[in-house]
Amino acid sequence: MLTAGIDVGTRFIKVAITDGNIMMGSSCMELAANFRGILKTCFQEALADAANFSSTRVRKRHVKKIIATGYGAHLVKQAAYTIQESFCLARAARFLSRDTDTVIDSGGLFIKVVTVNGHGFPEESHVNEKCAAGSGRFLEMISAALNISINEVSYFASKSTNPYNIVNSCAVFAESDVISQVNAGTCGEDIIAGVINVITLKTITLLEGVDAGDTIVMAGGLAKIPAYIHALARYSKKDISLISIDPQMPAAFGAALIAQGKTMVSHQRNNGRGAKEIHD
């Protein structure tokens, strides 16, 4: 059976098409004012990707069930139902690596720390609710002000010898703060390294709020920045690994897995419990 998971994040929309346990196709697009159009294009792209993978034609009607998740899940009218992101993350992370204790999802605006139990269900979930200081958006704004592309952030941050200590971490003020720092002679590498530190510390604060365990996997767009993962591992003194699929996809993949209807750790026979928690 083909199922789809749609994860509407704060910055990107992600679609994963799954058959059984296999992710057949996926697609990720940046959100803009034309939400419906982007959702449609993104879905089409994922279908095309799936068709490529299976070398058969995959149509929209072949997809039997769609589950939406993420911040903007309520916007997806096609979805059978919506599920909280932490359920999807926990399911995908546990499915991809059996011994996962905690998932960190660092996305556009929210950093989410979810601990996973033995059945692939979330136990605790912490998120930065009040303020976007130290989020992906913060990094995005500063790197834009410095004229550094997001892909080069890690390279520049690693060159820094003396990271700039960012006092005012309000993401809105970041841009003008950076301009005045550049004018004052601070070099871009040091500012970027300072930003990575702010984001890392914010994540550590969230991580300290949960019983994180030993095996931590990283997901979300920020996981594509190696300097961030290294800093996180260094400060938390824990073993942090990258999730084994595209870091932006786990929530969408998890939603598609849940749409398959069976619990992935099926030998543990927790079907009844799973259904109850999902509908909650």
132 binds other proteins (CB under 8 A): yes
What is the rounded CA–CA span in Å between residue 148 and residue 160? 14
Q: Shortest Cβ distance from residue 109 to other proteins (Å)?
A: 6
Q: Shortest Cβ distance from residue 158 to other proteins (Å)?
A: 27
Segment near other proteins (CB under 8 A), from 84-92, 96-104, 164-172, 221-229? Answer: 164-172
What is the rounded CA–CA span in Å between residue 228 and residue 111? 13
* Residue whose structure tokens are 């994540």: 203
Please tell me the count of residues contacting other proteins according to CB under 8 A.
Answer: 22
Phi, psi (deg, nearest 5) at residue 63: -80, 115
Scanning residues 251 to 280, which ones bind other proteins (CB under 8 A)? none
Binding other proteins (rule: CB under 8 A), the pick from 115, 135, 181, 203 is: 135
Positions of E strands within the chain: 2-8, 12-19, 22-30, 63-69, 81-83, 102-106, 111-116, 122-127, 215-219, 239-242
109 binds other proteins (CB under 8 A): yes
Q: Shortest Cβ distance from residue 153 to other proteins (Å)?
A: 19
Q: Shortest Cβ distance from residue 112 to other proteins (Å)?
A: 14
- 182: how many CB neighbours lie within 10 A of its CB? 15
Tokens read off for 70: 């993420």
Q: Shortest Cβ distance from residue 202 to other proteins (Å)?
A: 13
Scanning residues 65 to 84, which ones bind other proteins (CB under 8 A)? 71-72, 75
Dihedral (Cα; 220, 222, 224, 229), 10-degree rounding = -110
3-state secondary structure of 157: helix
Binding other proteins (rule: CB under 8 A), the pick from 179, 239, 244, 261 is: 179
Dihedral (Cα; 204, 9, 5, 258), 10-degree rounding = 40
Q: Shortest Cβ distance from residue 268 to other proteins (Å)?
A: 37
Binding other proteins (rule: CB under 8 A), the pick from 80, 98, 117, 173 is: 173
Site string for other proteins, 198-237 (x = CB under 8 A): ----------------------------------------
The answer to whether the CB of 163 falls within 8 A of the CB of 145 is: no
Site residues for other proteins per CB under 8 A? 10, 31, 33, 35, 71-72, 75, 109, 130-133, 135, 137, 168, 170-173, 176, 179, 183
